[in-house]
């Protein structure tokens, strides 16, 4: 298996622009998680989906952030408009409920820089 795939790997954008991050989970996994990692705040869960349905979005910072999972093999995290404080590494992870559902497989991350 190719593992969790994220794109782009790096994104540099100007404040106010829209940013869309993409994730393809591991085939057969039914839970998908979006995380943000910074030195100051560590690894924060933004939102997670189970069977394509958003279950918990309490970690989404504000209305500028939105996430979708239109099907089992694709999810997006959108920031509009972006701000410098959004600069971070964004990880997507997936897991399978039937096994150890707390064993999450992470993608390589998207390093976002907002100037």
Partner 1 sequence: GQSLEQPSEVTAVEGAIVQINCTYQTSGFYGLSWYQQHDGGAPTFLSYNALDGLEETGRFSSFLSRSDSYGYLLLQELQMKDSASYFCAGANNRKLIWGLGTSLAVNP
Interface contacts to partner 1, rule CB under 8 A: 31, 33, 42-45, 48, 50, 55-56, 91, 93, 95, 97, 100-109
Q: Rounded CA gap, 46 and 52, in Å?
A: 15
Q: How far is the CB of 81 from partner 1 (least distance, A)?
A: 27
Least distance from partner 1 to the Cβ atom of residue 47, Å: 10
Q: Which is nearer to partner 1, 72 or 81 (CB)?
A: 72
- Residue 16 Cβ, how far from partner 1 at the closest point, in Å? 28
3-state DSSP assignment of residue 113: strand
How many alpha carbons lie under 13 Å from residue 61 in its C-beta half-sphere? 17
What DSSP character marks residue 87? -
Token digits for 7?
Answer: 């794109």
Residue 5 or 81: the one with the smaller Cβ distance to partner 1 is 5
């Amino acid at each position: 298996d190719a593992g969790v795939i994220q794109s782009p790997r790096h994104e540099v954008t100007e404040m106010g622009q829209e940013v869309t991050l993409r994730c393809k989970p591991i085939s057969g996994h039914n839970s998908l998680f979006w995380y943000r990692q910074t030195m100051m705040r560590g690894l924060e869960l933004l939102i997670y989906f189970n069977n394509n349905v958003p279950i918990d979005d309490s970690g989404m910072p504000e209305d500028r952030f939105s996430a979708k999972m239109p099907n089992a093999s694709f999810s997006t995290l959108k920031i509009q408009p972006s701000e410098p404080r959004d600069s971070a590494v964004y990880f997507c992870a997936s897991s399978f409920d039937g096994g150890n559902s707390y064993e999450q497989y992470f993608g390589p991350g998207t390093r976002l820089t907002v100037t």
